[in-house]
């Protein structure tokens, strides 16, 4: 018995922001952004595209593909760092929005690794109780958590959501395994504060605002090394050869990180799915958006082994293997 992906879905906001649009608000250029990141455009949410609504639309699309009704979902897990409210969770809003009346729902925060963490969690629920049907969603409106005056960060991130429906199936289809890692010692290299505390004793000395802060160069170095290590540890754990992997669907951080990873692992670039040029870095949403795009473009066939890998704030990183 395996935990299979029964359907995938994604939703991207309608408004597309180009590098030329960014040239008008900060001191940057299309050439600089493309050379350093590979990003050309990103989607930016507008009215009616709050994080939970992006998530709900991605979920409905995944449910349709799976042929599963929302009322048959037992659990909704949303990986996000940019919910429109701190409480209730984004997952509770999704539950309400799609009418998943019997599901319990909660969010997890593992930054850009959130989807891989949530997938592993859902796999373990289903292994313990094969009757369960679970929606795992990655959803972000990072445009609401970006300092639009900071050219180091605002060029990188975008909004969107991706979702998968998981359920038990007979045979060897499904999640093969995962390896997850964290290192809180490195938190300051990539972080985001909350709003200032209401308790004066707990006030930060100078609240920098609720937006992403990043040491780009350091993050770059760690990201490549960490994803490579997670992938090699997972392949070793599951006794799967890298050659047996049909498609790598990585967290879409930026093209240079992904090219470096490809070079270090020695895999063919054609085996790596990249769409960061269109959507930028959508944090927890990037892997399920890419997975849905690859799936709908028939880049993944039944029986293929798909490798996911991620890196994000925390630091958090990990990898997962799925037999499709
Ligand atoms: N446009 C033009 N110039 C920019 C710029 C922008 N948007 N952002 C920074 N610069 C400038 C810097 O001010 C610096 O100028 P200086 O040399 O005059 O001081 C110069 O470009 C080089 O800056 P640096 O930060 O060293 O650039 P870099 O080559 O490291 O590229 C990143 C910056 C952010 C693209 C790169 O570090 C990166 O990709 N990091 C990983 C980020 C990431 O993926 N984070 C999410 C992980 S989940």
281 pocket-lining for ligand 1 (C-beta < 6 Å): yes
Residues 6+ apart with CB under 8 A from 322: 5, 174, 175, 176, 305, 306, 308
- Identify whether the C-beta of residue 41 lies closer than 8 Å to the C-beta of residue 18: yes
269-286 residue pLDDT tens = 999 999 999 999 999 999
Q: Read off the pTM.
A: 0.97
Fold of 2-172: Peroxisomal Thiolase; Chain A, domain 1 (3.40.47)
Give distance in angstroms: CA of 261 to centre of ligand 1. 19
Q: Does 207 have pLDDT greater than 90?
A: no
- Strand, coil or helix: 83: coil
Residue ranges of the domains in the chain? 2-172, 175-323
Rg value, the chain, Cα: 19
Question: For residues 16 and 41, is the Cβ–Cβ distance under 8 A?
Answer: yes
What beta strand segments (E) does the chain contain?
Answer: 2-11, 15-18, 41-44, 75-79, 104-108, 134-141, 159-169, 174-182, 190-192, 212-214, 247-250, 305-312, 316-323
Q: Tell how far the Cα of 216 is from the centroid of ligand 1, in angstroms.
A: 6
Average pLDDT of span 153-172: 97
Handedness of CA 171, 309, 181, 261 (dihedral sign): positive
Q: Are 90 and 53 in contact (CB under 8 A)?
A: no
> Does residue 34 line the site of ligand 1, with CB under 6 A?
no
Domains 2-172 and 175-323 share a fold: yes
Average pLDDT over residues 148-176: 97
Q: What's the confidence (pLDDT) of residue 24?
A: 97
Length of the chain: 324
Task: Tell whether ligand 1 has an atom less than 6 A from the beta carbon of residue 28.
Answer: yes
Percent over 70 (pLDDT), the chain: 99
Residues 211-233: tens digit of each pLDDT: 999 999 999 999 999 999 999 99
320 pLDDT more than 80 = yes
Q: What is the CATH number assigned to the segment(s) 175-323?
A: 3.40.47.10
């Amino acid at each position: 018995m395996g935990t299979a992906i029964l359907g995938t879905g994604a939703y991207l906001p309608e408004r597309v922001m180009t590098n030329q649009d960014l040239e008008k608000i900060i001191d940057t250029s299309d050439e600089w952004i493309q050379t350093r990141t590979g990003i050309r455009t990103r989607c930016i949410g507008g009215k009616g595209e709050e994080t939970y609504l992006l998530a709900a639309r991605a979920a409905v699309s995944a449910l349709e593909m799976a042929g599963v009704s929302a009322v048959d979902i037992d659990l909704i897990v949303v990986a996000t760092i940019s919910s429109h409210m701190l409480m209730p969770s984004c997952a509770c809003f999704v539950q309400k929005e799609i009418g998943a009346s019997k599901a319990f729902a909660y969010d997890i925060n593992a930054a850009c690794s959130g989807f891989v963490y949530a997938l592993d969690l859902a796999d373990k629920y289903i292994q313990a109780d094969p009757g369960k049907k679970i929606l795992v969603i990655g959803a972000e409106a990072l445009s609401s958590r970006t300092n639009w005056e900071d050219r180091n960060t605002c060029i990188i991130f975008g909004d969107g959501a991706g979702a998968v429906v998981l359920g038990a199936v007979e045979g060897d289809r499904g999640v093969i395994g995962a390896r997850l890692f964290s290192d809180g010692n490195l938190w300051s290299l990539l972080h985001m504060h909350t709003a200032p505390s209401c308790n004066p004793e707990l006030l930060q000395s100078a609240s920098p605002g609720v937006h992403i802060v990043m040491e780009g160069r350091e993050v770059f170095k760690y990201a490549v090394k960490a994803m490579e290590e997670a992938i090699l540890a997972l392949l070793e754990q599951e006794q799967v050869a890298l050659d047996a992997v049909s498609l790598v669907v990585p967290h879409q951080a930026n093209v240079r990180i992904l090219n470096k990873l490809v070079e270090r692992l020695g895999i063919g670039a054609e085996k790596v799915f990249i769409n960061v040029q269109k959507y930028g870095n959508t944090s927890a949403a990037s892997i399920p958006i890419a997975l849905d795009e690859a799936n709908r473009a028939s880049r993944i066939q039944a029986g293929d082994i798909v490798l996911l890998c991620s890196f994000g704030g925390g630091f958090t990183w990990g990898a997962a293997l799925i037999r499709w």
